[in-house]
Structure 1
Amino acid sequence: MSDFTNNSRVDKFEKRRKNTKSLSVLLILGSILLVVLIGVMVFGGDESAEQPTDEKAGQTTGQDGQAGNSGDDEAGNTDEEETDENNAQDDSTGESDTEENNTQDNESDAQSGTEQVEPSDDNVTEAYTKDWQPVGTEQSEPHTTNFDEGSQDRLEMRKASAVATGLDEESLIMWWIQRNGDNSVISTVSNADNTEYYRVYMTWVENQGWKPSKVEVLKENDQEWRFE
């Protein structure tokens, strides 16, 4: 009876030992599985967490790229502005060259077909005549010369002086006008820079206006002293 009891105790102990061992194994396996699951969750979560960061990084890069394009656009706009300025300068230069060419052409036209004559004094470097036409008039007959500034005679004398010398009518300076007998005058004029000086002899032609008859090119402006 005691042997049976002992055997039963031994069997129970063995079963408990085996159960404990199985339970330990299961616990170990469960722990390993739990660690694996935790690891999967941790690493999987990190990857998913990194994704928005990559997207943000991509968005930041895109913004930088746009900023770069904006800079390129600004540089392009600057180039266009510089091009416009250069074009404006070229146009301005072209206009100046055109005005100079027109003045030279006027002077050339004024002197074409001229005949050299004797100078009237030592201040004259060159004198010439030409068969100029009267410049026309808005005045009626009988004509009386009006020397006042702004008068119709002064305006038409300016035009005649420009035709004879080739100077620009709008910019030439009329320094002095003096009588030279009946219905005749002499105007002393210069260019706008006061570097070219002329005496223009002209005569009134009835109903046709002032007609240049002779031009003298002067060494110096001999009428400027009146305004010093």
Structure 2
Amino acid sequence: MPIKRMIEGLNEFHDNYFISHREMFEQLSQGQSPEVLFVTSSDSRIDPCLITQSQPGELFVIRNVGNIIPAHGASPSAEAAAVEYAVHGLGIRDIVICGHSHCGAMRGLLQIGNLAQQMPLVYDWLKNNAESTRRLVMDNYPGYSHEKLLKIAIEQNVLTQIENLETHPVIRSKLHAGKLNLHAWIYEIETGEVFAYDAANGQFKLLENRPFPVPNPLIAAHSDSLR
């Protein structure tokens, strides 16, 4: 989309959508109270509000290369600050990590040696934050086709980011209190469908009428220790 078309879009938004929803925007100007933290890719093909049909003010969004949340204890990051603000400051009760099909970050991760010279910053980001995903895939799925490995990497990366989230103090505290749910999703660009991780069978299932929150292993372990 050329910049001229974007400006035309801005004018169209103001003259039509904004005018007809002026009251909603006046309320939003008084503060935000989103219900979900949505973590997804920077990929231009992914629009969280479009695929969930959410209105302004309903989603608090983090986007980056590979829909990654660095584990607690890594270098300070905007992602960690946003997570802390969303959960502690805004009272978010649901967090979605949403990967997607044909993910360029995961494709690059599987061929990471080629990135070092061409895109060193992308290389550093993936090497520092997604190496566990790459190692898991390469060590446990020998002989798979590249496209099958890519699908596995996309799924495993989402689950890795759930695990990374659980290392953050504010997340662990809310999970322990039963005040937070984590969700692992995959958006399929070519079909428009979303698949959610169902821990009961260890698979991503088509998301239709009910959510599949990821069970908190820390809570389960603590409960077992009290028996």
More helix by share: 1
Q: Is the radius of gyration larger for structure 1 or structure 2?
A: 1
TM-score range, shorter chain: under 0.3
What is the TM-score when the length of structure 1 is the normalising length? 0.21
